[in-house]
Structure 1
């Protein structure tokens, strides 16, 4: 669907974003609410979201495809830790299998969205990148724009970077024509992006140096899931996918819980992996973070590819603080100098909820940080609205599947009752004890964004859970009409020629 193609007004549901969240929600609507009229608006020219944007060397997920994939769309390959190209192919397959492409309006950026209580409608203002604006109305608004700023990554304010005579690149905006063959590369950062770039760039570069201020914890696992492959050959695809997904969820949950309750044991396990990969005399200082495992997300190293590059002498890890970038490279505070032809600033993302949409309720700004989450997706006292935030300790898609399934239950319930408006009602005098979802994570991008996301309470339904298994059980068991949701009919339009009383 192009920008000029008219779509029905009002829609039942308008979905913002054609990434993992938007595609997942749309597919759930097709399967479970086939009568609903919906459309997707997407600022880019293609579906895929993050996986269409990120094109840096080696880009891949740190989640396996049994959990990064949807529960309703089985993963059919032996390799389960895969690159961005295979993830993008998978998402495009879901789009086509559910006939979603014809429902997507590409090249459309949502500028604002206002809920009009009188009409019981969202009015969404769109910009088509040439400056032309249009509006679209909808009964229900689902914002699936992810969690980070597509336009402005985090600026680590590296001193002297402007003085560098070589090329500076941020992974979020990787040049398609960049040839780094035979170049000296310095990658600033030690997170998942840096750990992915190092082995990929080491294949062609003269030398790759990963410059880290503090080390990260690394988890090595095979890129191929032998049990998943075996199950897929014995069982129907959906059943094999479901069993493999459950297995991996439980493995991830076990490691996360162990990291919380017995961090010393998990450190020992991860250090044993490092010793197996690098030898018993490896530099422990370079691989020992000043925090426990899972206080920041573990960096997944499929098939030990980072360590293979280090062992081959194609890459190195240097720990130190930058004093100044000069014309030829980076001067460190301890006096060392690292020569560079290309500097890659893998310094992190800037978290941004709702994709910079100016969200209002009857013209008054909706500030996410002033609301509580309801059932992991809706905002307290905001009608007909959902904007899910994924898991920090597991795949984002796990949340999207739960939310998509629950929202379809909600919409069917509204049809049955003949109501148009649903609001998670939180009385002003109801005191909730806050339990911020970022509290136990020390990652810089999360701490910088604590006030940008809705609050989470210690009790359901006003919380954003980080335990998929518990959330799955709770969301499926909880009644829709739980005494918290307030249901209403849309006001009847005034008859022509009849003055309002």
Structure 2
């Protein structure tokens, strides 16, 4: 393909990237844009993950785009339905033809002299250079190429397949097999009932430590009732607003009253499994929402355990054996296959190398401005969703904020928008408030967070909605500037005049 020269380059065509493209078309229609996607298809996470039972762990009415409400009565949605929803949205809002596939962005260089980014992409035909005024990264927060792999002792001795959920083999048939799932997070809790329903002889969830498992209704009664009484659009807005309030309220109450929250969750678990099982396998050492909650629609995971088709072992892996896994107490769990639901490998900003006028710029050494831009970095934004709520809630706030910045640049005739660093900034906690292993392993990769706004990420939709309002773009910190009158030859991007390939 030929090089692109546009106002805005969006990197990534998953849930965030397609949402960003739709918002650009809606809110900044005077700006030209394109989307670069490293894979050969759109959908991001929801096309990559194909393990049995894959689903969102947030309610679909807040997980869906606000400009295209989710239809249906179920609380959670399957990975396949989310993938179809993303693609249908791209077609409906006519942004599908803006997506360019097979473009793995490896570097981005900004020139202050031209006010543009030069972006290099790896393609099947070699390197291609594109230029854009504004670069918007919608690559998520983990690596698509590798998951977090634990080098368990003896794993080479095991006779059966060892599968990471991120790379589920299409040919694997669980029928009649004894399967051990290592892990206790949302992926493991989803896999256990799905594998049992697909005919596994028995599924054992082997966890080093327990997680909070919260049963929720599988369908939305209010949504069904509202749909029967109210106009469609009004009913959808009512359900979305109700779920948003419930999600934020549950999180805030859990953080303020953790002991009460623990008791409620334990009581719900005991209703399925009894007191002894909950005490042994479902009493975490951390407080609610120190790690992300595992939601189970209609208690499917707990019902599967109660049925005897699955079980939980809380212990450490001593070693793999040819026929299974020996745990810390010396027992062996027999297995025909092992699934290592051991988490993701964090990768912020898609692993791209950044420079400004030839000087390396590392997002992890930068201050996070409104959870969307980086201090001292011009015309650059990143889309990161919530860890305690639906990803899309914050992703859409960020895309609307980016459009507001672009519109302000147009109104002022500005070439750059740069968060100006406060010399008195004090460093606070990392922007993700989770103690999960995959987050703690990667704390050094996240941007620095301050202790006061707009250099903090609160993980609260109502706070962020006010902070990122288009009316607050001109906050005295985001600096808008014109180009120098005579840019030097040395400041021109390497790909300023390039042909196609």
Pairwise same-fold verdict (TM > 0.5): yes
**Residue matched to 1:499:** none
Partner of 2:129: 135
The answer to whether 1:124 aligns with 2:119 is: yes
Please point out which of 41, 48, 70 is paired with 2:43.
48
* Deviates most, 118-127 or 486-495: 486-495
Please say if residues 28 and 405 of structure 1, whose CA atoms lie closer than 8 Å, have aligned partners that are also in contact.
Answer: yes
Indicate if the aligned counterparts of 1:71 and 1:241 stay in contact, CA closer than 8 A. Answer: no
8 Å Cα contact 1:68/1:398 also seen in 2: yes
Q: Which residue of 1 aligns with 2:461?
A: 468
| Cα offset, 1:370, TM superposition | 1.5
Equivalent residue, structure 2, for 1:179: 173
TM-score w.r.t. the length of structure 1 is: 0.94
Structure 1: distance between partners of 2:237 and 2:110: 38
- Distance in 2 between the 1:229 and 1:407 partners? 35
1:358 matches 2:367: no
Partner of residue 167, structure 1: 161
- Please list every run of at least 4 consecutive aligned residues from structure 1 whose deviation after the TM superposition is greater than 4 angstroms: 492-496
* Partner residue, 1:148: 142
CA contact (8 A) 1:74 1:237 kept: no
Does residue 210 (structure 1) correspond to residue 194 (structure 2)? The answer is no
Residue 231 of structure 1 aligns with which residue? 226
The 3 A distance-change label for structure 1 pair 494 and 327 is closer
Is 2:420–2:478's contact at 8 Å kept on the other side of the alignment? yes
Instruction: Give the 3-state SS of the residue equivalent to 1:282 in structure 2.
Output: helix
1: CA distance, partners of 2:428 / 2:282: 35
Aligned residues: 488
The alignment yields a C-alpha RMSD, in angstroms, of: 1.7
- Distance in 2 between the 1:61 and 1:437 partners? 22
Q: Would the alpha carbon gap of residues 494 and 389 (structure 1) be closer, same or farther in structure 2, given more than 3 Å must change?
A: closer
| Structure 2 unpaired stretches of 5+ | 490-501
- Contact 1:82 1:223 survives alignment (8 Å): no
1:405-444 correspondence to structure 2 within 5 Å: 405-427=400-422, 429-438=423-432, 440-444=433-437
What is the aligned partner in structure 2 of residue 194 from structure 1?
A: 188
Q: For 2:324 and 2:457, how far apart are their aligned partners in 1? A: 44
1:76 match: 71
Counterpart contact for 2:372–2:382, Cα < 8 Å: yes
Deviation of residue 29 (structure 1)?
0.6
CA, structure 1 residues 441+258, in 2 after alignment: closer, same or farther (shift >3 Å)?
A: same
Determine the C-alpha separation between the residues in 1 that align with 2:137 and 2:486.
Answer: 27
**In structure 2, C-alpha distance between the alignment counterparts of 1:406 and 1:161, rounded to whole Å:** 47
Unmatched runs of 5 consecutive residues or more in structure 1: 497-501
**C-alpha distance 235-401 of structure 1, shift in aligned 2 (>3 A):** farther
**Counterpart of 2:238 in 1: which secondary structure?**
helix
Aligned 8 A contact 1:331 1:337 in 2: yes
Shift of 1:8: 4.5
Alignment of 1:447 with 2:440, yes or no, is: yes
Aligned partners of 1:356, 1:213: CA distance in 2, in Å? 30
Change (3 A) 1:237 1:381: farther
Contact 1:72 1:238 (C-alpha < 8 Å) held by counterparts: no
Alpha carbons 2:401, 2:470 under 8 Å: kept: no
Aligned equivalents of 2:350, 2:280: Cα separation in 1: 39
Write out aligned runs for 1:278-289 (5 A): 278-280=273-275, 282-289=277-284
Aligned-partner Cα distance in 1 for 2:236–2:458: 24
Distance in 2 between the 1:124 and 1:278 partners? 54
TM-score after normalising by structure 2: 0.94
